[in-house]
Structure formats: structure tokens, C-alpha cells
Chain A
Amino acid sequence: MAGERHSASCYLDERTFRLCCQLFLQHSVTIQDGWSWEEIKGADEGFMRKTVLIPVRSDASHHEDVCSVRTENTDSLTEELQADVEDEAAGLQAVCQRYEYHVVYSSSYQIPVLYFRVSTLDGRSVSLEDVWSNVHPNYRQRLRQEPWDTLTQQVVLGTAHFIKGGARSEKTTVVDNLIYTLVVLLLNLHEHVYCSQRLNYIVTWLSVVGPVVGLDVPLSYSTAVSAPD
């Protein structure tokens, strides 16, 4: 695997995955970004995990209205209007969902895979429709061509996660697995990024796929984290 260097087959081997993750995690600790490494007992395998609480948007535009009212009218807000804004904000903050992200190495595809699971604070899985409504509008259009309605097992832990689905054809109801979408995405990434060997694969990859599913990857990772030797 390490020997194949021409662009089409420039894959990520497991050792490099681990090294990239360790470097990523060092920076995560520095900026308190909440990622941790989970080792599987009885195997020399592991993955990165992060859990985030994300407030549920009841309506994206409504949220933006509240924000714009705050910034524009701070100086001239009457007490009443200010109270309304605070109530709205409190209402929005009160409803949270738990997003759990796992960065796992797939030996079958020799790429990392991002799994995520969304649940309510009392542990119930959130339906796909509800997850969909929380996706930032900027990504929705792209995702409309790539809906996720495949529910598949997290390969290492065995808990339920969403895997983003691939393109849905109008003629069939078969939904291609996300891994194919990711593989295409990552193979493209490979040719331009990994083979240069100057960048940390995990940082670059996660910066691209993470935001699509609500995961924020601060810019400082790109400058602070080096590639493994």
C-alpha cells in the first residue's frame, strides 16, 4: 500500500491514519476542541471521537432574523423588544441535540470515514428529517443530490450511526452508500493534496467533509498541524 504512489491509487494506510490523528489530537487539546482517541480493547485499532451539543433551529431564517435584530438595534432597543429577543434566544438554546462524530479508518477502502449519530439529550435517535432540517442552507442544495437515508453500523464500535447516502436516481430507489461519495471526494483530494506529502491528510479531509454534517473544524488546524514524517 505504501508503495503505490501514482495519483489514482494514492491511498491512506492505517499507520499514516493513526499518525495524522495523533497530530490532529495534539492541536485539539491545545485549542480545547474536544476530540479524543478511543482505542479498541483487544485490537490495535482506534478512532477519533467528538460529541457536540447543537441547538436545534426551528427555522433557519427565523434564527437569522433574531440575530440581525440584535446587531442592528442594540443601541435603540426598548426594554420590551430586548426582552423578546432574549426570550427567543433562550427558546432556541433550550432545544439541543447531541451530535456524536467518529473518524474511523476503513481498511476496505483505505480511507478515513466520518460517521455521525444524532440523538436527543435523553438518548433517542433523531430522525433523518429532523437532522436534515439542521443542515446549513448552504449545503442543502448539494446534499439534495446526495441525501442520506442509509443507516449503517459504525464499523468499530457497533453503535448506530448515519452514513450519508450517495446520489438517488429517479428511476430506482437504490441509494448508493456514502462511502462511494466519500471515495470519489477523497480520491480527488488525494491527487491534489495527500501526494504532496506536506499536509496532514486528516486535517484536510475533515475540513472538507466535516462542515457538511455540522462539524466545525477551526482554521488553526491547517496551520498548526503538520504532516507525519
Chain B
Amino acid sequence: MADDKDVLRDVWFGRIPACFTLSPEEITEREAEPYYLLLPRVSYLTLVTDKVKKHFLKVMKTEDVEEIWFEYEGSPLKWHYPTGVLFDLHASNTALPWNITVHFKNFPEHELLHCASNSVIEAHFMSCIKEADALKHKSQVINDMQKKDHKQLWMGLQNDKFDQFWAMNRKLMEYPTEEGGFRYIPFRIYQTMSERPFIQKLFRPVSPEGNPLTLGDLLKELFPAAICVEDEPKRYQVIIHGIEPLLETPIQWLSEHLSHPDNFLHISVIPAPSD
């Protein structure tokens, strides 16, 4: 499966060019230049923006600095979503670079989680991995791993080390051959305009008759509006890692190859652009 390994690498090394600008509401001693950065799709905003923070702190007084948070066109960006998901959801069809506004005060308590340190990110990341394994393997694989193995997953993500990460993660991607796939697929479907943050339900990758189910089957059950009927214009785009996979793609394959490091398949459903 040489091709499939390439897919894993392409997913891991996906980047989004971003331009960070300080909010005009912030008090500065002199004008701050914007800061440009290539954001890893699979990581988390607060994990990869130390340099952004340092850059803007240079023009600010310490007393004016509280916890950093990011916003795009008025929407606070949830750092605990992978960066690529945030982009696909909010800025897919806009021109690059992705323009993000940086804030140091008026933290939106009801919309964002605090991120006091990297251990908060690590705890969140590990909790996602554990939940994914609860779905895939009834937690058997993750529980059989030692603490140092868990640490390896985190360090692999934190330090952008594909081989270190996948040496451990491949165990989480195994399944008994006779089953044909995981017990349930860990996935989340995001929409911008919705009451709920995401849709997450139990979904088996294989039908009771033993047929592999597809992305289309998943959407038909959980988001039928996303499947366009033949004569009608397409209303939604279904995006994973910035691309629209064919609806015929087996969901098991997507889970193994297009999941984020947190082992979840994050699916963004956005309104199709009206040309």
C-alpha cells in the first residue's frame, strides 16, 4: 500500500498560509507589523503560535496583555479544533493567506476554552484519542499502551514528527480482519450555522450484510441535505483536509487515512459557493 502511506504523509504535512494581525482594540506602544506563518492543518492554534504571540508582545505593555485568543471575521476561533478544520469551516473559499486577528483582552468566556499551557492541549488531544479508541476498539488498544506510548503520540504531534507519531498510531488503526473494519467510526460533522457544535453518532463501517459503507452512506444517514439530488444544484460542499472526497469512498478507508492525529475524521459541511 505504497500509495496509502503517501496519503498519510500528505495529510500530516498539510499547511495553510496565514497572516496574523493585531486587533485595533489592543493598546500598543507602536504599530505592529502583521506576522505570516504556515499553519499545520493537523495541529492546534495555541500549540503553533508561540512566535505570533512573541511578535505582538514586543509592541505591548505587560499590563495590557491577558490570554491570547484568535478571531476570524468576528468569530472567535476554537483552538481545540484542529487548525485545518477551522480553516475549512470558516475560510475555505476565500483568498489566501487566511487573515486571522489576534486579541489579548476581552476573552470570550462563553465561546472559547481557556488554554493556560500546553498541558491543556495535550490533555484535550489525548482525550480525543481515547474517545476515538473507545469507539474503534472499546478502548482495548489505548488501554494496552503504556504511558510512554501515549506520550509518544503527543510528542510526535507537538514536534511535527510523522514517523514518531505513526510508529504508535498504526496500532490504533488496526482491526481484526474478520470484522472488516473498526467497531464504530470516530467522526464529527461540523457546520458553521448550527445550534450544535458538531454531529457525532455511532456508525459502523460495514453493513449488517458485510458490505463496506461509504462517505455517502454516512451522510445519507446523518446529513442527507449534503447529498445532492441529480438535477438540483449542489447546496453543500463536504470537505475533509481541504478536499472533497468522492462520496463512494469507503468510510473505513477514510478513517484510517484521513483522520487527524486525534484519530477523528473531521468533516466540514459548508454552503457551496454560488458562482
| Chain A residues closer than 8 Å to B134, beta-carbon distance | 108-109
Give A150's nearest chain B residue, CB to CB: B123
| Chain A residues closer than 8 Å to B114, beta-carbon distance | 125, 151, 160
| Chain A residues closer than 8 Å to B119, beta-carbon distance | 149, 173-175
Tally chain B residues at the interface, Cβ within 8 Å. 34
Contact between A150 and B120 (Cβ–Cβ < 8 Å)? yes
Distance (whole angstroms) from the CB of B122 to the closest CB of chain A: 6
B197 at the interface (CB under 8 A from A): yes
Stretch of A36-44, A135-143, A206-214 that contacts chain B: A36-44
Tally chain A residues at the interface, Cβ within 8 Å. 36
Residue in B139, B150, B196, B202 whose CB lies within 8 Å of A158:
B196
Give A124's nearest chain B residue, CB to CB: B109
In the bound assembly, the distance between CA atoms of A121 and B123 in angstroms comes to 28
Give A42's nearest chain B residue, CB to CB: B195
| Chain B residues closer than 8 Å to A82, beta-carbon distance | none
| Chain B residues closer than 8 Å to A108, beta-carbon distance | 131, 134-135, 186, 200
A119 at the interface (CB under 8 A from B): yes
A134 at the interface (CB under 8 A from B): no
Q: Which of B86-128 contact A (CB under 8 A)?
A: 109-110, 112-115, 119-120, 122-124, 126-127
Contact between A160 and B109 (Cβ–Cβ < 8 Å)? yes
| Chain B residues closer than 8 Å to A58, beta-carbon distance | none
Residue in A40, A109, A124, A169 whose CB lies within 8 Å of B147:
A169
Contact between A177 and B123 (Cβ–Cβ < 8 Å)? yes
In the bound assembly, the distance between CA atoms of A125 and B194 in angstroms comes to 24
| Chain B residues closer than 8 Å to A173, beta-carbon distance | 119, 122
Residue in A119, A150, A171, A172 whose CB lies within 8 Å of B127:
A150
Known: A42-B195, A43-B196, A150-B120. A174 touches B131 (CB 8 A): no
In the bound assembly, the distance between CA atoms of A90 and B32 in angstroms comes to 49
| Chain A residues closer than 8 Å to B194, beta-carbon distance | 42
B151 at the interface (CB under 8 A from A): yes
Contact between B130 and A177 (Cβ–Cβ < 8 Å)? yes
In the bound assembly, the distance between CA atoms of A158 and B111 in angstroms comes to 8
Give B133's nearest chain A residue, CB to CB: A108
Give A123's nearest chain B residue, CB to CB: B109
In the bound assembly, the distance between CA atoms of A130 and B216 in angstroms comes to 48
A30 at the interface (CB under 8 A from B): no
Beyond A43-B196, A179-B127, 20 additional contacts (C-beta under 8 Å) are A40-B195, A43-B199, A107-B201, A108-B135, A108-B186, A123-B110, A149-B119, A150-B124, A152-B123, A153-B197, A156-B196, A159-B110, A160-B113, A174-B122, A174-B123, A174-B150, A175-B122, A177-B123, A179-B131, A180-B130
Q: 11 A-B Cβ contacts within 8 A?
A: A40-B195, A42-B196, A123-B110, A125-B114, A152-B127, A153-B113, A155-B200, A160-B109, A175-B119, A176-B126, A180-B130
Taking Cβ atoms with an 8 Å cutoff, the residues of B that contact A are 78, 80, 109-110, 112-115, 119-120, 122-124, 126-127, 130-131, 134-135, 138-139, 147, 150-151, 154, 186, 194-197, 199-202
